[in-house]
Amino acid sequence: MRYLLGRGWEKVPFATAPPPMTALTAPEAAEKFFGTGRDALVGCLMQMMAPHSRSGDAAVAHAEFVSEAEAIGLEVCLKP
């Protein structure tokens, strides 16, 4: 949107704007969801859930869920 609505020096012609989306291959999509990078969706969700399960049974359930999600992520990302 910056390309279309920019002000002053940010204003760029529409023809030079990059495409809004690019299609991901199956391995790229798996990496975005389950990968080990900073922007992996599942990892971000786990970090956001952690403060809500600090003690007792909730902490144990969260740890089990995280380990299960990590195992699935490794299985999905390492498939050829």
For 14-43, write each residue's pLDDT tens digit. 666 667 777 888 888 888 888 776 778 888
3-state DSSP: the chain helix, strand, coil percent, rounded to 5? Answer: 65, 0, 35
Above 50 in pLDDT, residue 3?
A: no
Does pTM top 0.85 for this prediction? no
In this structure, which amino acid lies at residue 2? Answer: R
Residue pair 31/25 in contact by the 8 Å Cβ criterion? no
Nearest CA to 50 out of 42, 20, 2 is that of: 42
Query: How confident is the model over 41-78, as pLDDT tens digits?
Result: 888 888 888 888 888 888 898 889 888 888 888 888 77
